[in-house]
């Protein structure tokens, strides 16, 4: 991939941070948007902004067609054969809570077991923790090994006849560890064949109101079909259109190229950081086993101080517990700094980042 050309597709890189060119290494939190996506979102608001499904006027029809076309485009991108299986939510956190409320509170009872892992983001930990407390279920948390990978033996032992739900991250947002979804799913099907892997196609609604209904009388209400049953109220039409445009953009690059680029940058960054005394890297050392995420600490320097010094040089990284406090506690640290890479980053960005880390050491004289 031509990273220089790709970077020019993203308007934000024209911005200067403290007089420096922006080196954005926080894509695991929020990725930047190419102009193609931004233009299509603007076009929706400029030309046919209207509510979907409920109107017969021109703007509503155009908005509805674009919204449902976006659903079909996203379905194709993620390999789903039927677009009705795609439900638009505000974010992954809302999607997980939808499952916890709509399916979990109906199907998980006292004594049932929920199996998750220590590497989960809070959004895939707290909802199940709270559900277990409310319904008297048992929450089992599978640890990781010394390499930052899921302990498969412990995972298999955690499964049993009482397991009702198994939920785990595909890629850790802290360690970058990639979990083998197919392998873990096979183990679940073998050891706990009645358990769900956070997927269910027959949930009652989570939010009530417009669009998610089929018929309302004084006595009762019947629900709409999927996916509209779970999309109550006015949806984020512009966001769906932008998401579809992002799918187009990524398909043009080729997802195999995106993945290869992630691995190359992660391996390059790990190699560079490993040569700096006092820098501790967390997660698998083999970049093929992680996403484009490298979490680290610089000696005794707090991660927030690391991020602040890097920001003065125009380098954006994340710091803190990354909404994964149980994992950070498990690792025995108070906080972590995190650099995450994407299609608009190259080795030059990492070189600048590494020099920034050396500057951190100079400032703190370590």
List the catalytic residues: 323
Entry field: residues in the chain: 366
* CB-based burial, 336-365: b 16+ in 10 Å, e otherwise: bbbbbbbbbbbeebbebbbebbeebbeebe
* CB-based burial, 252-291: b 16+ in 10 Å, e otherwise: eeeeeeeeebbbebbbbbbebbeebeebebbbbeebebbb
Distance between CA atoms of residues 205 and 312, nearest Å: 47
Contact between residue 198 and residue 123 where contact means Cβ atoms under 8 Å apart: no
Q: Is 274 helix (H, G, I), strand (E, B) or coil?
A: helix
CB atoms within 10 A of CB 133: 10
Q: Phi and psi (nearest 5°) for 316?
A: -100, 115
* CB-based burial, 186-195: b 16+ in 10 Å, e otherwise: ebbeebbeeb
> CA-CA-CA-CA torsion for 237, 242, 243, 248, nearest 10 degrees?
140
- Going by C-alpha positions, the residue among 340, 261, 327 that lies closest to residue 293 is 340
Contact between residue 164 and residue 116 where contact means Cβ atoms under 8 Å apart: no
């Amino acid at each position: 991939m031509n990273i220089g050309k790709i970077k020019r597709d993203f308007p934000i890189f024209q911005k200067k941070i403290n007089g420096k060119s922006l080196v954005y290494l926080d894509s695991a939190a929020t990725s930047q948007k190419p102009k193609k996506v931004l233009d299509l979102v603007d076009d929706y608001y400029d030309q046919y902004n209207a509510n979907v499904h409920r109107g017969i006027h021109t703007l509503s029809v155009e908005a509805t067609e674009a919204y449902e076309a976006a659903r079909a485009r996203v379905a194709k991108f993620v390999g789903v054969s039927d677009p009705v299986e795609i439900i638009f939510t505000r974010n992954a956190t809302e999607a997980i809570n939808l499952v916890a409320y709509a399916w979990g509170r109906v199907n998980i009872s006292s004594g049932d077991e929920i199996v998750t892992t220590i590497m989960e983001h809070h959004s895939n930990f707290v909802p199940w923790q709270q559900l277990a407390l409310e319904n008297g279920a048992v929450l089992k948390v599978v640890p990781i090994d010394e390499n930052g990978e899921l302990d498969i033996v412990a995972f298999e032992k955690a499964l049993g006849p009482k397991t009702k739900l198994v939920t785990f991250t595909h890629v850790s947002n802290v360690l970058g560890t990639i979990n083998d979804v197919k392998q873990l799913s096979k183990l679940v099907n073998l050891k706990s064949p009645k358990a769900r892997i956070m997927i269910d196609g027959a949930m009652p609604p989570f939010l009530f109101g417009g669009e998610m209904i089929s018929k309302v009388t004084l006595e009762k209400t019947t629900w709409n079909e999927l996916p509209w049953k779970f999309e109550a109220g006015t949806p984020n039409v512009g966001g769906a259109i932008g998401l579809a445009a992002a799918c187009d953009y990524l398909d043009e690059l080729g997802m195999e190229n995106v993945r290869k680029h992630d691995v190359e940058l992660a391996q390059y960054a790990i190699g560079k950081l490993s040569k700096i005394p006092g820098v501790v890297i967390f997660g698998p050392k083999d970049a093929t086993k992680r996403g484009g995420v490298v979490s680290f600490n610089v000696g005794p320097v707090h991660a927030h101080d690391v991020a602040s010094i890097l920001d003065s040089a125009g380098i954006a990284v994340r710091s803190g517990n990354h909404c994964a406090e149980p994992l950070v506690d498990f690792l025995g640290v108070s906080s972590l700094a995190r650099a995450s890479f994407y299609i608009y980053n190259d080795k030059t960005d990492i070189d600048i980042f590494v020099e920034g880390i050396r500057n951190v050491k100079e400032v703190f004289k370590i």
